[in-house]
Amino acid sequence: MKLGLRKPNQKEQSEVTTTESVASNRLRELCGNDTELYTTMSRLMFLDPKKIITPLDKTLREAQDYEAQGNKLRAEIGYRIAGGISLSTGDVDGVNKYFSKAASIAGDSHPEYQIILKRSSEAVAVARKYYAEFGSANP
pTM tops 0.85, yes or no: no
pLDDT per residue rounded down to tens, the chain (139 residues):
445 555 555 554 444 455 567 888 889 999 999 999 999 999 999 988 788 889 999 999 999 999 999 999 999 999 999 999 999 999 999 999 999 999 999 998 999 999 999 999 999 999 999 999 876 544 4
3-state secondary structure 2-63: CCCCCCCCHHHHHHHHHHHHHHHHHHHHHHCCCHHHHHHHHHHCCCCHHHCCCCHHHHHHHH
For the chain, the domains span 11-134
